[in-house]
Amino acid sequence: MLLDGRKVARELKASLKEKIAKLNNKPHLVVVLVGSDPASLTYVNSKKRQAEQVGMASSIIKLPESTSTETLLETVKNLNQDDSVHGILVQLPLPKQIDTNRVIEAIDIHKDVDGLHPLNVGLLRNDRPYFIPCTPKGVMRIFEYYDIELEGKNALVIGRSQLIGKPIASLLLKENATVTQAHSKTKNIQQLIENNDIIIVAVGHKAMIKKDMLNEHHIVIDVGIHEDGETLVGDVEKASYDKVKAITPVPGGVGPMTIASLLENTYIAYLRKEGLDETSI
Amino acid sequence: MLLDGRKVARELKASLKEKIAKLNNKPHLVVVLVGSDPASLTYVNSKKRQAEQVGMASSIIKLPESTSTETLLETVKNLNQDDSVHGILVQLPLPKQIDTNRVIEAIDIHKDVDGLHPLNVGLLRNDRPYFIPCTPKGVMRIFEYYDIELEGKNALVIGRSQLIGKPIASLLLKENATVTQAHSKTKNIQQLIENNDIIIVAVGHKAMIKKDMLNEHHIVIDVGIHEDGETLVGDVEKASYDKVKAITPVPGGVGPMTIASLLENTYIAYLRKEGLDETSI
């Protein structure tokens, strides 16, 4: 079975659009882009376009590649203080001269729709999430949409990035899965795959997980995305799609959920700022 | 082999005592105790006594069982503002009427020597620890003292508390172990124990892990502590001590490391406040 992230994202965005239409004002997402990396520019434009599709206001602030940490901190500070801004996203990665940690820690946690501020990281780790990082949040929504039981299941997360691997592990643990976190220093990956029911692959290497490493009981989430000639491919070999029990395809799996979750987080930020009931989500 | 936490703690405290003797002022630890739980009182007195043994200043603030959240927040606020205070520890658990999360979040993170503020939790999760919770820090020091290799090893953490299980998992992952976090909903604990090299037991049930569940290759850290007639027993059956490769006994294993780590954190807080070099630790 293919886990259709495009469909889940479409439904989520349709629901957000309806709710946003009833608000007095538009939630406003600001994306800050430093430099002119083509991939980053594509992502940022896509975020703006989709935000507008659901009825949000959206701005992009473009800063030159040579921007200093201090200048970027000043930009973030201004956005923090701007009452018309509900969500701030600083597109990563940042140029080398910028202290990324300082920039992320400067974002007002009430506007940290990317969920990367260490206070948000700590609250998530303590099972009291405030903003959940977008891709992990999207993955959990796919599980929920397809009614995939997590409690008591053995889940293997391959990869331990701050953006993906670690927050997904925290969320799976919160749902009572038994969670193993593997990474580049892990020695027995094949045995771990065999011993687990759910495999989250977030390694960032094209088709690294091969068909013969997986079996027909596995539920697989492929967070990778790589160009492959005219198309895209994930961290999992496409040949495995008809072998496993269920998998998120690339393209059309996790990818579309990331921006949908970002929009949802921005909507939540708006509700909180206005003192509105966020349980209505 | 028994991993002798008493010895490691004694050496750590001796080293701290030497360093503290050279300081211009004494690091000052304040422990706040609400109510009169006998176990908590014993811990708090022990912290004060050991702080004084290494040459620190130490105070206990005792508040009645009926203390409100607001009153405790006021106490914490005053301690935050008191320049003579370097470390603040609010003894847990707090009485039911108190909002523990609000109290912990009110502690100045520069004085949060227990490492429980969510910002400290997030920084630890991001591999940039500021204050590491005391028991997990003590466990890692035992590994270091006995030169136990963690990189590439499979480590099972049984238990997922904020105080113990989760921070230990974060620290093991930082040291490049492949970490599995198990808990009360885990279904295949015996299989997981067999598949792992290092077993951290922090379940809070007397002698729950039996001799026949372990083998001669296991390195075991027993974080439990329970009264058993005249003596103490951990979460691991004592009969297993001569079966496994290495284990922290109870008493005399992890327990002594917790307070030693607290003293070390208070010393670090002092150094930071005074702008002194903390790499000298």
The answer, yes or no, to whether residue B256 has pLDDT greater than 90, is yes
The answer, yes or no, to whether residue A278 has pLDDT greater than 90, is no
For the A134-256 domain, the top CATH level (class) is alpha beta
The predicted-structure confidence for B12-71, as pLDDT tens digits, reads as follows 999 999 999 999 999 999 999 999 999 899 999 999 999 999 999 999 999 999 999 999
Instruction: Provide the CATH topology of domain B25-123.
Output: Rossmann fold (3.40.50)
The answer, yes or no, to whether residue A280 has pLDDT greater than 70, is no
The predicted-structure confidence for A144-169, as pLDDT tens digits, reads as follows 999 999 999 999 999 999 999 999 99
Average pLDDT over residues A223-244: 95
Q: How confident is the model at residue B144 (pLDDT cuts 50, 70, 90)?
A: very high
Contact, B59 vs B28, CB < 8 A?
Answer: yes
Q: Which of B120, B188, B192 is nearest residue A122 as measured by Cβ atoms?
A: B120
User: Is A185 in contact with B123 (Cβ distance < 8 A)?
Assistant: no
- Annotated catalytic residue A166: no
Is A173 in the B-facing interface, judged by CB distances under 8 Å?
yes
- Annotated catalytic residue B191: no
Q: What mean pLDDT value characterizes chain A?
A: 96
Contacts of A126 in chain B (CB under 8 A): 101, 118, 121, 162
Is B73 in the A-facing interface, judged by CB distances under 8 Å?
no
Q: Which of B117, B160, B185 is nearest residue A151 as measured by Cβ atoms?
A: B185
Contacts of A118 in chain B (CB under 8 A): 119, 122-123, 125-126, 128
Say how far apart CA B195 and CA B218 lie, in whole Å: 10
The answer, yes or no, to whether residue B139 has pLDDT greater than 70, is yes
Say how far apart CA B114 and CA B117 lie, in whole Å: 8
Percentages of chain A per state (helix, strand, coil), in multiples of 5: 45, 15, 40
List b or e across B34-64, with b for residues whose CB sees 16 or more CB atoms inside 10 angstroms: bbeeeebeebbeebbebbeebbbbbeebebe
Which pLDDT score, from 0 to 100, does residue B278 have? Answer: 74
The predicted-structure confidence for A22-35, as pLDDT tens digits, reads as follows 999 999 999 999 99
Find, among A169, A28, A31, the residue nearest to A107 by Cα. Answer: A31
Say how far apart CA A61 and CA B162 lie, in whole Å: 39
Task: Catalytic residue, from B91, B111, B181, B222: name it.
Answer: B91
Find, among A257, A264, A245, the residue nearest to A6 by Cα. Answer: A257
Segment 31-60 of chain A within 8 Å of chain B by CB: none
Contact, A188 vs A180, CB < 8 A?
Answer: no
Structure letter (DSSP) for residue A194: H
Say how far apart CA A132 and CA B202 lie, in whole Å: 27
- Annotated catalytic residue A81: no
Residue with tokens 């847990």: B92
Distance from first CA to last CA of chain B, Å, rounded? Answer: 28
The predicted-structure confidence for B146-169, as pLDDT tens digits, reads as follows 999 999 999 999 999 999 999 999
Residue with tokens 């996203």: A89
SS3 B186: coil
The predicted-structure confidence for B195-246, as pLDDT tens digits, reads as follows 999 999 999 999 999 999 999 999 999 999 999 999 999 999 999 999 999 9
Say how far apart CA B29 and CA B89 lie, in whole Å: 8
Same topology for domains A25-123 and A134-256, yes or no?
Answer: yes
Residue A241 distance to chain B (closest CA, Å) = 27
Which pLDDT score, from 0 to 100, does residue A62 have? Answer: 97
Average pLDDT over residues A258-271: 97
Task: Give the nearest chain A residue to B176 (CA atoms).
Answer: A185
Which pLDDT score, from 0 to 100, does residue A277 have? Answer: 78
Which pLDDT score, from 0 to 100, does residue B280 have? Answer: 57
Domain chopping of chain A, boundaries: 25-123, 134-256
The answer, yes or no, to whether residue A92 has pLDDT greater than 60, is yes
Is B13 in the A-facing interface, judged by CB distances under 8 Å?
no
Q: How confident is the model at residue A281 (pLDDT cuts 50, 70, 90)?
A: low
